Amino acid sequence: MIIDGKEIAKKLRSSIAKQVAKLDRKPGLAVILVGDDPASAVYVRNKDNACKEVGFYSEKINKPLDITQAALLAEVERLNKDDKIDGILVQLPLPSHLDANQVIEAINPNKDVDGFHSENVGKLMQNKPHLRPCTPKGVMTMLATIGVDLTSKNCVVVGASNIVGRPMAMELLNARATVTICNSKTQDLSSKIKQADVVVVAVGKSKMIKGDWIKDGAIVIDVGINRLDDGSLSGDVDFDTAQDKASWITPVPGGVGPMTIATLLENTLTAYTAREEK
Ligand code: GUN
């Protein structure tokens, strides 16, 4: 069966919109985009549109490609102090002359709706999470929606990035799964995947995971979005062969992608609530 991320995300947005309608002040999200990378520009536009849909206050901040580190840090500091803003997101990747880690660490951890600040990473690792990275949290929402109990399940995460792989592994561990984290140097990846009740793939290589690697009845979550030469999108999993083996599988597009932005809105509402309660 197909896990319809588009539909789950739509329900999540509509639940957020209902909660926002009852609030005296609108939750506010600021998104900073440096330069004009077309893919990043699309993501930032989608985030801005999603904010409007649920009734958030939204600031889309475009900065020139040659902005200095000091000027970018000053912008973050301005948003840290702005009471209208509950969430701050700096679209990654940043141009190579900028130090992304220093920028992330400059964000007030209570406004870090990406969950990338070391304080939030640490809290997730201690199983006392506050703001959780959007893509892995969105995957957990999908798994909850299909009603899977992860306790003692064998989960294999392919990819070890700070944005997806590492926090994904922690989320699954926090849900009491047995977790294997694979990376680009993993030996005999197919044999690892053959053991998995749940596979989450985030590597950025089109159709790298083959259907015959998937255990019968496994749940397959494909975080990859790859643009093929013919302009179409494909995931990291060979969907056509994998769907015959999997009990549940996410499509690309329409799977994990829409969940990430809906979860960003959810995080912004969490940050808002935490700030209002202070
Ligand atoms: N670039 C790709 N994914 C993400 C994300 O989740 N957050 C940010 N800030 N940048 C990204």
Check if 30 has its Cβ closer than 6 Å to any atom of ligand 1. no
For ligand 1, atom 2, the nearest C-alpha belongs to 92
pLDDT of residue 41: 94
Respond yes or no: is residue 91 known to be catalytic. yes
- Ligand 1, atom nearest to 89 Cα: 9
Q: Catalytic: which of 4, 86, 91, 111?
A: 91
Distance CA 216, CA 229 (A): 31
Could you tell me what percent of the chain has a pLDDT over 90? Answer: 99
Check if 234 has its Cβ closer than 6 Å to any atom of ligand 1. no
CB 50 within 8 A of CB 261: yes
* Joined tokens for residue 32: 């900073």
256 CA → ligand 1 middle, Å: 13
* Joined tokens for residue 247: 């009990």
User: Model confidence over 74-109: pLDDT tens digits?
Assistant: 999 999 999 999 999 999 999 999 999 999 999 999
Kindly give, in sequence order, each residue whose CB lies less than 8 Å from that of residue 89, ignoring residues fewer than 6 positions away: 29, 30, 31, 32, 47, 113, 114, 264
State yes or no: pLDDT of 223 exceeds 90.
Answer: yes
Q: Catalytic: which of 4, 114, 236, 238?
A: 114
> Which residue from 97, 94, 102, 79 is spatially nearest to 31, judged by alpha carbons?
79
258 CA → ligand 1 middle, Å: 13
Alpha-helical (H) ranges within the chain are: 5-21, 38-54, 69-81, 100-106, 118-125, 134-145, 165-174, 189-194, 239-242, 256-277
State yes or no: pLDDT of 271 exceeds 90.
Answer: yes
Check if 265 has its Cβ closer than 6 Å to any atom of ligand 1. no
pLDDT of residue 207: 97
Going by pLDDT thresholds of 50, 70 and 90, the confidence category of residue 2 is very high
pLDDT of residue 278: 83
**What is this structure's pTM?**
0.98
